[in-house]
Amino acid sequence: MSAPNAILFIPREKGLHGTIHRGSNMMGMLLQRYPLVGLERQRDFGAGPLPLRFARMIWYWARVSAYSVRQRRDIRLIFCENTHAVLGGILAKVLGKPCIWDMEGDDTLYLSAWRKSYLFSGFVLAFHWVARKTTDLLVVPCEEDREAYIRKGRYDAERTVTLPLALDFSQFFDEDGRRKEEVRRSLNIDPQKTVLIYTGHRTEPPYREGAEWICRELAPRLESVSKGVQILLTGKGEAIPGTSSQVMFTGYVPNIYDYIRAADICLAPIWREAGVPGKVFEYMALGKPAVVTTYARGLRHLTDGWDALVASTPADFIEKVISLVQRPERAVGIGVRAKETARRYHSYEAVAPAVWRAVDETIVKYPGKRLNRRSDR
């Protein structure tokens, strides 16, 4: 049953995840102020070949369409994620509702960086053409993406807004979390080691390239500098043959935050423009120093040497990692400042007001009753 003057969210994830997943975290911020409705679904429509996943998506869209028609009197605005904006935009036109399209990043950049097939890319670009014609506001996670959409003429400047990725500090980054030593004991990690971590499924090209680079270039250099270093590579994907004994492949882990808490230094060796690295904000939010590259988007507020180390070349990246290994007190200081930067720019408290403002301003353009907002928390 719907709620009067609600936001229809497409697709509505099953549960709110602790990770910095764009859709579920956007839901979390919207729920603080607005009634939110929609049909739940499993993320990515399960496993299997592309045609099967596409069929599941079409079936989900059919169910959402029927639901929205039944509940049309209670729906005030449609908020849709990524390719689902083609459905949201069409429904918005049919039902006479305003529609916000939330994109994880520049679609053409994403398809290229993640090496999607021509068939998949064709579907996505066709869907996005429809979405551009039918939605009222485009939301992107960083200024670089906003500038790209406007420069390429794919959306109007007046209808494109930057809303950064956000983390729920109150729920997932409590100040009373376990100490690093305790976490290491629970994970069987040597408490005397300097632990570095790189997170991400090696089934995805940019993350596998980063893992391969760590094993091929970074690990041998670190081994020549210190024998007391251990590198953790988490996520799905095959181990990389011939890797140094300093590198440990954990496979998929259900609680990535414990592994990050166990680390001293966090890595993001991304050597192509692959979008906004949400993992970096998770590192920072847990008070860890991150070594990143200039290829990453959405990091303009970071200051090299203050709240992160930003490398422009592979050689520079290696030297910056070595400097943190050799100066642990510097690593701790950068981590402390990184947490404050993450809280200032990427907490719910920092981002949610801009989300609410985007919703309210979109609704004002259309006739009808405004949303019934919940009392401020």
Number of domains present in the structure of the chain: 2
Which secondary-structure segment (H or E) carries 198?
strand 194-198
End-to-end CA distance of the chain: 25
Let me know whether 148 and 159 are in one domain. Answer: yes
Q: Which residue is listed with tokens 């039944």?
A: 70
Let me know whether 40 and 107 are in one domain. Answer: yes
On whether the CB atoms of residues 205 and 113 are closer than 8 A, the answer is: yes
On whether the CB atoms of residues 204 and 277 are closer than 8 A, the answer is: no
| CATH number of the domain where residue 191 is located | 3.40.50.2000
Let me know whether 25 and 134 are in one domain. Answer: yes
Q: Residue 350, CB half-sphere, CA atoms under 13 Å: how many?
A: 16
On whether the CB atoms of residues 142 and 323 are closer than 8 A, the answer is: no
Let me know whether 354 and 339 are in one domain. Answer: no
Query: Which are the contacts of 180, defined by CB distance < 8 A and separation ≥ 6?
Result: 261, 262
| pLDDT for the residue 128 | 81
User: What distance in Å separates the CA atoms of residue 283 and residue 170, rounded to the nearest whole number?
Assistant: 16
| pLDDT for the residue 52 | 85
Per the domain annotation, does 373 fall within a domain?
no
> Is the pTM here over 0.85, yes or no?
yes
Let me know whether 99 and 212 are in one domain. Answer: no
Per the domain annotation, does 179 fall within a domain?
yes
Per the domain annotation, does 1 fall within a domain?
no
User: What distance in Å separates the CA atoms of residue 78 and residue 97, rounded to the nearest whole number?
Assistant: 7
Per the domain annotation, does 56 fall within a domain?
yes
Query: Which are the contacts of 164, defined by CB distance < 8 A and separation ≥ 6?
Result: 141, 142, 298, 345, 346, 350, 351
Let me know whether 352 and 324 are in one domain. Answer: no
Per the domain annotation, does 369 fall within a domain?
no
Per the domain annotation, does 211 fall within a domain?
yes
Per-residue pLDDT tens digits for 297-318: 999 999 999 999 999 999 999 9
**Domain range enclosing 275:** 174-346
Per the domain annotation, does 110 fall within a domain?
yes
Let me know whether 106 and 179 are in one domain. Answer: no
Residues (pLDDT < 50) of the chain are 1, 16-18, 175-176, 368-370, 375-377
Per-residue pLDDT tens digits for 32-90: 999 999 998 766 666 677 788 888 889 999 999 999 999 999 999 999 998 899 999 99
